[in-house]
A and B are shown apart, each in its own frame.
Chain A
Amino acid sequence: MESSKPIMELELEEDKLHYTWKAPVLEKKLTYDVKKCVGCGLCEKVCPVNAISMGPIKDIASGKVEAPYIIIDETKCVACPLCSGVCPSGALKLTLQADFDHPRVKGEISLDKEKCIPCLLCEKICPRDAIKAEVKVKKKEELVKYLGEESWGKGNIKVDLEKCCYCGLCELLCDAIKIEWVDPQPPQLKVGATVSVDLEKCDYCGLCEEICPVQAIKVECVESAPREVGKPVVEGSLEIDEEKCVWCGMCAGACPVDALHVEKPFEGHIYMVQPNECDPSGCKNCINICPVNVVYVAKPPSKDKMGFVEDYCIYCGACEKACPVDAIRVSRRSIRIASVESPWSSMCSEMLKRSLTTYKPPKPKVYHRVVKVEEVEVTPPPPPPIPPTPKGFQRASKALTKLLETITSVQGRILFERGEYKKIASKLEGD
């Protein structure tokens, strides 16, 4: 007999778990990418069959254990679009047939190509490595043409480190400039530590001053050999990988020319409660788990122990889950859902809203009661053993055979139909 119930198969592939829901007419695949998962737990909130449970997040965040943040119970999971729709980092993905798409919680990122220079800033600041910037800057050697034999210049150059945004264009332009690149850390989130100019190499051509988008370099050429200085040429493009982008907006915040516009998928608030319990020197769970690296140890005059760069916080709530003393609260107040033209998108979107902390489920239209019915198992008693054939069976069989012969005779039957059993009985005795 063919199995009629759909089965869920689990396949492991490197860092990905593939759950394949197999049914006679359709196969659905839910892929869980362990590396992409941030531990926010929003999938647990929206799952309609409670198939998702959180793993040991606090221990994973502190580094004690290496494990995936969530556990999906394949006996319960039906591979519906909800967890895949809410996942902020794209760790959960549902695939069906070719043209299938479902509502998703999604931010928006848009690039104004006219404004974009391009430069290296967004690529360097993006905490998810979602931006690739291809920047081609014409080297200073190509742009400065010395007319005679000599090639020198004298003057002053000053880089205002307060203004410098570390876009990296000056370094690409001229070998005399060196930027000390660092990993951006909250709250300053600067990608560079300092800019240094090798005065030996610098000929005060002023190209760096021109190329700098924030006018952080001031060059004053006092004297130089006769030369022609061209205009800086910057070419290139940005490639934004929407699979990796979580719409935190850091790139938009850093962009010196406001070329990027980002809308976050959630809007809300993140704050600390019971700050006395928090131990920033011993525990670093929230800093470790934050997918966009916006958590930092706060300094006075802040009363809280930890600080959050709320502009770029995506309100995923992973830090709230990771905190061992439950000192962080993340509230999600509004949600941005990219809907699709499907008849089910209204309920799907409604259920995605369960990820909001302010969500109130709609009141049922009928007076709902849950009835407890206990299954009553009635076990039937065991059947009695079969007795052996009795001794008198042969005689019984003989007597019945005689009777049969009587009533299959014409006379006997006539008597039978008339109901004259006495006459038939006497006939039997007679034979």
Chain B
Amino acid sequence: MREGGEGGYPPEKVKVAVFVCRCGTNIAGVVDVDEVVRHFSSREGVVVGEHEHCCSDDGLRKIKEVLEKEGATHLIVACCTPSLHGELFKRTAEEAGLNRGFVEIVNIREQCSWVHSFDPKRATIKAIDLIEMAIAAAPLASSAKVVKMPVEKSVLVIGGGVAGVTAALTLADMGFKVYMVEKEGFIGGHMAKWDKVFPTLDCSICVLGPQLSRAYNHPNITVLTLSQVKSVRGVPGNYEVEVYRKARFVDEKLCNGCNKCLEVCPIQLPNEYEYGLGFRSAIVKPSPEAVPQAPYIDMESCVGCYSCYGVCDPKAINFKDRDQTITLKVGAIIVATGFKPFNPKGFEEYRYGFLQDVVTGPEYERMLNNVGPTKGRILRISDGVEPKKIAFIQCVGSRSDRVGHRYCSRVCCNYAIKQAVQTKLMKPDIDIAIFYIDVRATGKLAEEAYRRAIELGVRFVKGRVGDIRRTREGKLRLFYEDILEGNFKEEDFDLVVLSVGMEPHEDIKELAGMLGVHLSEDGFLAEYHLKLNPADTFSRGVYVAGACTGPKDITESVTQAGLAAARVAELLGRGEIEIEVYAPVIDESKCKLCFNCVRACPFGALKMGKGRVEIDEVACRGCGACLAACPTGALRPPGYLTNEQISAMLKALLSRKSEFPLIVAFMCRWCSYAAADNAGLNRIPYPTNVRVIRVPCSVRVSPEHILEAFRLGADGVMVLGCYEQDCHYRVGRIKANERVETLKKLLEAVGVNPDRLIIDGASASEGKKIAELVRSFTEKIAKLGPIGSEFEV
């Protein structure tokens, strides 16, 4: 492999291959690609090429050809965002003998053609500027360092529902050790609560039960119930996870499942498992088929009467049990935490919480279940009488701006149809009406189930229910609009079932932060690519399965779980993994032993040694805080932008002002750069005046670079990172805030308007916010005038 070594190639030997991608009309429709190619074709040391789709088989072949034929030392591809095909181009370059550190991707699609379609001329100028910056930086690139590390052939599955159990069994059967961590006292999740599943009307626990049993007893699976993940440290292939396990007070191995303890407990409490219907005791086992079969004691409700202890023949009850913290070493993590049913208290017109006979879909499902609170009988809750007329109301909590859930929850139409069919088969005389907006019965055999419901006499009424009132006889009067007949009606029912949708769990944010996983706009976890990579996340080593990424039914959850298991096997299967080392190298001749870098590092990867700085390669996460703190440039990062490179980029950009105002934006690759890509995906336009430099974290931005930018003529500088609490390097954004604060004061002291510099943040899905930030900042700078105007007055 041709290596550049320290400092890269000597200038005479440098040859940069630049490829401009047309991307069909995605880029070429706005940016004048021919003009771009023309601009660089007669540059010394540069060879230019272009292709319709550089990422295609043909395109990659062409790139390799040019690299080998021309003996190119560096590759620049001007195309889509590096998050999409960056890895592909780097690997292609490696195949042609280049180190991946000498490959640079210039984003002229998501951050250029897709957002500047209103001004093709300026978009072209921006594309040229960005490529100029890359060309200037190329010769100064440092080679990337990749090492092979052995991995832990074990996996952590967070969540014991149908997705988690499927993934765990698949991996365990492949030979991996699996740790399943479940927050509740029993595994099975929501599926274990249902009576029958659509559209086949299979008994839910009958099909899930054997899986739960197999998982619990599998030699390769360790199930930790009443447990939650508290912290995650480490790198893909070698994670260290801290799990907090609450005391069960019942020994799972000794308990024989006789259930005598449940009968003698004197404490009766509202039953959360049954959504508040009926009672449970302080020793908890929600149903006879629960896995594990040992109950747990809710110690906050126990009074210490020892009655359970007294009747337990195998002496499984242990009051000496205590909470504990368990540390696990795993190679990969699968998140399968599922969803939470929507609480309809946000819709006052349905009177949930006030009228007892208005129940949710899951509550009705529990009523249908033979081991539920009504022992399988359909009853009105207020008086225990069998209802003669039941109404189902669809889209409660979904497709609604009012509660901020715009999405469709995917399963409600199907489960309402199932519940209606089940009810009709049990009691054909009950009159059922389903109030819908659209019937979305998609999926295999779902339309057939819809037809069957109609054949059984279920009425489908298109219209929204505006109000529910209690009549003097205790019935529920629904006031609704019948859209197909075009009038308003009222009708009395005995029981109303609200088909509630799915919501993300409230602790999903904390978990996402711990794992470095993003959230989508709807609040669910974000998968890497919705179509092609639904089980990966933006964090290598962390995968997702099931409803935690968005509403889906059991089939889709199981499918995604299988994919996640396969991806984990891919990562860990060989027993070793290739990871990039981010730790910088020190040029001891330049190091002045000021130890600024040691103080700046949020991970303690740099330590004060005897007469030198010691670097811990494993601890370094590549945030770049040290690079920005070093006054002499003695630290050189492997394979990502060095200080010299950024200087060269600024010089190349600002050597001639291509437009006014000209704004340099440093964007962190995790959040704000992804947000800018998101703006591109959603085609949200913003002014062309920004030139982006992609950095690992906002803390990487050195005050030197900001000052140089202004010195060379930039009118404004933006430092855009994550939100403080979401920073992938924990305190990076906070430190960056401090640096910018200090710098602003200094700018003011020397007479430069400090408003020309801002630091802000956005999360990866907030394309609109980034566009707005750029727009408002550009406007502000335009009003301030070009840099230097403040000195004229």
Inter-subunit contact B304/A345 (CB<8 Å): yes
Q: Kindly list chain A residues whose C-beta atoms are within 8 Å of the C-beta of B304.
A: 80-81, 102, 342, 344-345, 348
Assess whether A28 is interfacial by the CB under 8 Å rule: yes
CA distance A369 to B360 in the complex (A): 13
Residues in A neighbouring B321, C-beta threshold 8 A: 343
Contact indicator A23/B311 (Cβ below 8 Å): yes
Q: Assess whether A48 is in contact with B303, with CB atoms less than 8 Å apart.
A: yes
A99 to chain B, nearest CB (A): 11
Q: How far is the CA of A153 from the CA of B213 in the complex (A)?
A: 101
Q: Is B277 an interface residue (CB 8 A)?
A: yes
Answer whether A80 and B307 are a contact pair too, CB < 8 Å, given A25-B315, A367-B353.
yes
Residues of B within 8 Å of A342, CB to CB, are 304, 319
Which of these, A26, A80, A100, A373, contacts B303 with CB under 8 Å?
A80
Are the CB atoms of A373 and B306 closer together than 8 Å?
no
Query: Interface readout for A1-40 with B: 1 if CB under 8 Å, 0 if not?
Result: 0001110000000000000010111111000000000000
Neighbouring A residues of B356 by C-beta, 8 Å: 369
Judged by a CB distance under 8 angstroms, whether B210 is at the interface is no
Q: Does the CB pair A21–B310 fall under 8 Å?
A: yes
Residues of A within 8 A of B279 (CB): 370
* Most interface-central of B272, B306, B375 (chain A CB within 10 A): B306
B313 cross-chain contacts in A, Cβ below 8 A: 24-25
CA distance A357 to B643 in the complex (A): 72
Interface: A422 (CB within 8 A): no
Max count, chain B CB within 10 A of own CB: residue among A6, A25, A370, A371: A371
Residues of B within 8 A of A27 (CB): 310
Using a Cβ cutoff of 8 Å, how many contacts connect chains A and B? 123
Q: Does B288 contact A (CB under 8 A)?
A: no
Q: A4-B260, A81-B304 are in contact. Are A366 and B266 (CB under 8 A)?
A: no
Query: Shortest distance in angstroms between A13's beta carbon and chain B's nearest beta carbon?
Result: 23
Residues of B within 8 A of A48 (CB): 266-268, 303
Docked-complex contact A82 and B303, CB < 8 angstroms: yes
Contact (Cβ within 8 A) B305 A373: no
When chains A and B are docked, how far (Å) is the Cα of A131 from the Cα of B377? Answer: 64
Interface assignment of B784: CB less than 8 Å from any CB of chain A: no
Query: Which residues of the partner chain A approach B276 to less than 8 Å between Cβ atoms?
Result: 364, 366-369
* Contact across chains for B384 and A81 when beta carbons are under 8 A apart: no
Q: Is B249 an interface residue (CB 8 A)?
A: yes
- Pair B249/A79 contact, Cβ less than 8 Å: no
For chain A, which range describes its interface: under 10, 10 to 19, 20 to 34, or 35 or more residues?
35 or more
**Bound CA–CA A249/B255 (angstroms):** 50
Q: Which among B268, B278, B299, B322 is the interface contact of A371 at CB below 8 angstroms?
A: B278
Task: Assess whether B473 is interfacial by the CB under 8 Å rule.
Answer: no
The residue from B247, B260, B309 contacting A26, defined by CB atoms under 8 A apart:
B309
Interface flag for A365 (CB, 8 Å): yes
Structural contact, B383 and A26, CB atoms closer than 8 A? no
Whether A78 pairs with B299 at a CB distance below 8 angstroms is no
Check if B300 is an interface residue, CB within 8 A of chain A.
Answer: yes
Are B300 and A347 in contact (CB-based, < 8 A)? yes
Indicate whether A372 sits within 8 Å of B306 (C-beta atoms), given known contacts A343-B249, A366-B272, A366-B276: no
| A371 engages B311 (CB within 8 Å) | no
A371 touches B260 (CB 8 A): no
Task: Report how far A96 CA is from B275 CA in the complex, Å.
Answer: 36
- Contact: A347 with B301, CB < 8 Å? yes
A371-B379 in contact (CB<8A): yes
> Do B315 and A369 have beta carbons less than 8 Å apart?
no
Question: B305: which of A4, A81, A343, A369 is its contact (CB, 8 Å)?
Answer: A81
The answer to whether B306 and A100 touch across the interface, beta carbons within 8 angstroms, is yes
Query: Can you list 19 pairs linking A and B with CB atoms under 8 Å apart?
Result: A4-B311, A5-B260, A23-B307, A27-B310, A28-B310, A48-B268, A78-B264, A81-B305, A346-B299, A347-B300, A347-B301, A347-B302, A369-B276, A369-B277, A369-B278, A371-B277, A371-B374, A371-B384, A374-B384
Supply 5 further A-B pairs (C-beta < 8 A) apart from A24-B310, A342-B304: A343-B319, A347-B282, A347-B302, A364-B269, A366-B276
- B residues apposed to A, CB below 8 Å: 247, 249, 258, 260, 263-264, 266-272, 275-279, 282, 299-307, 309-313, 315, 319, 321-322, 353, 356, 373-375, 377, 379, 381, 383-384
Residues of A within 8 A of B (CB): 4-6, 21, 23-28, 48-49, 78-82, 96, 100, 102, 342-348, 351, 364-374
Q: Which 5 A-B pairs have the closest CB atoms?
A: A80-B305, A372-B384, A26-B310, A23-B310, A344-B304
